Amino acid sequence: MSDPTEDPNVPAEPSPESPVHRALRLKQAAIDAREKPPRGGRFQREQAARIATGKSKPWMSR
């Protein structure tokens, strides 16, 4: 048997990244770097306590 670190099915060097894959990787990195809204605590309670859509239009109820 040959050396187990050398698998004949795996190329020695990874293939170069295609322009489409590179653009997608950069786009995902930019999206991940954006500021995200706070999670949990007071902010989440305020979001959950908002008035339901139909409640702000009393004339829509029967």
Segment 2-52, tens digit of pLDDT: 555 666 675 566 678 899 999 999 999 999 999 887 777 777 777 777 766
Asked whether the beta carbons of 25 and 17 are under 8 A apart, the reply is yes
61 pLDDT higher than 90: no
Residue 7 pLDDT:
63
5-28 CB burial, b ≥16 within 10 A, e <16: eeeeeeeeeeeeeeeeeeeeeeee
Q: Report phi then psi at 5, rounded to 5.
A: -75, -15
